[in-house]
Each structure stands twice: as C-alpha cells, then as structure tokens.
Amino acid sequence: MAEAIFGAEAIFGTAAVFEKFPDEPAVKALASLATDAKYDRDELTLTVARESVVAACQALREAGYIFFEDVTAVDWYPSEPRFQLSYSLLSFKLKRRVRLVVRLAGDDASIDSITPIWPAANFYEREVFDLFGIHFGGHPNLRRIMMPEDWEGHPLRKDYPVEGYR
C-alpha cells in the first residue's frame, strides 16, 4: 500500500528520491530520464526534459501508470523557465498517482503532444493551448476549445489581466 512506501517528510532531488523509493515503478521507469524529483505531501513529482516527454509517458505507462488524468500548466511569469506543465498519471493497480513535470521557456513554449499514447490528452492539450498558448506538436486538432476561435491572447497567462483587455 501507499503508506508502506511513502513517508511524510518532503524530499528533493533525484538522488534523494531515488534512494528513498528504489522499488517505486515510476522511479525505476524514469531512472535515466528524470532531471529532477520531489516527494512532498505524499505526492511524487518527477521532472523530465521537454524532448523526453513522450518517452517518459511511454515508460510510465509501461510501469503501470496506465491512466492519464489530466495535463495543465502553471505560468511562472516573469521568471524563467516560464511554463510548468503538470501531467497527472494514475495507476489502478498501485492505487497511486505520479505527477510528471516539464518546464518550458516563455519564448519557445512548444512540446510534443502525447495524444498518440493517450487519446484522452486531446481535450486537455487543447485547453492548455487555448488558455496558455503552449503549442503541442503532432496534436491532431490543436484549436481553441474554451474561448471563441477569434479570441486574442491566452487568458490564464499571468500577464493577461483578470478583467480582460477591454
């Protein structure tokens, strides 16, 4: 069970997390891909580079995290790298979820789509594209989903005023 493997105190850094949870399938799967790791508040967060997101998702799916929950972004404007993409994956068997994080620079906010692995990412990636302006390469239908087609700007960016531009 989850309690047996995970403790309570926060741990930062790949070395410390990998040492603490050597048997965790997500850690094993991303042993070579993870650039950073965090274990905080009973949640495992693994960071990978932008180029390896598809490989990382594939590896996690093979490790048992077969259910894609969602992907969303956080805009850390004005600091760089500006965008943080958080993928949430769930394992039915382990009854545990893992968060996969990718950081993107503000002037080159694009990443490969994971729709070939999980078609469920379709709407979520469209939502992130619509509200944050992050481009997903290889997405079959990357159009605005919430806002009208002719909308200008990406509302969930931090430099977009809460009241809008009008």
Partner 1 sequence: MAPIAAPDQINPGIEDVVADSERRHHGNDPVSDQTMVINMGPQHPSTHGVLRLVLEIDGETVVSLAPDIGYLHTGIEKTCEAKFYQQVVPLTDRIDYLAPMINNTAYALAVEKLLGLEIPPKAQWLRVLFNELMRINSHLVWLGTHAMDIGALTVFLYCFREREQLLRIFEAVSGQRMMTSYIRIGGVSLEPPIGLFDDIRAFLADFPSKIDQYEGMLQNNPIWIQRLKGVGYISPEDAIALGVTGPPLRAAGIDFDVRRDMPYSSYEKFQFNVPVSTDSDVWARYILRMQEMRESIKICLQALDGMPEGRIVADSPKVILPDREQMKTQMESLIHHFKIVTEGFAVPAGEATSSVEAGHGMMNYYVVSDGTAKPYRVHMRNADFANLQALETMCKGRLLADVVAVIGSIDIVLGAIDR
Residues in contact with partner 1 by CB under 8 A are 2, 40-43, 45, 61, 66-70, 72, 74-75, 86, 88, 92-93, 95-97, 99, 115-120, 122-124, 131, 140-141, 143-148, 155-156, 160, 162
Torsion sign (Cα): 61, 64, 69, 70: negative
Find tokens 């531009």 and name the residue: 165
100 burial via Cβ count (<10 Å: 0-12, 13-18, 19+): buried
Nearest to 125 by CA among 145, 97, 105: 145
Shortest Å, Cβ 94 to partner 1? 10
- Judged by beta carbon, residue 95 or residue 107, the one nearer partner 1 is 95
Shortest Å, Cβ 55 to partner 1? 17
- Judged by beta carbon, residue 33 or residue 157, the one nearer partner 1 is 157
Nearest to 157 by CA among 137, 135, 134, 141: 134
- Judged by beta carbon, residue 22 or residue 158, the one nearer partner 1 is 158
Q: How long is the chain?
A: 166
- Judged by beta carbon, residue 16 or residue 117, the one nearer partner 1 is 117
Shortest Å, Cβ 44 to partner 1? 11
**CA–CA separation, 26 vs 93, rounded Å?**
13
Q: Which residue type occupies 109?
A: A
- Judged by beta carbon, residue 50 or residue 99, the one nearer partner 1 is 99
Q: Tokens at residue 144, please?
A: 């605005």
Shortest Å, Cβ 82 to partner 1? 13
Shortest Å, Cβ 140 to partner 1? 5
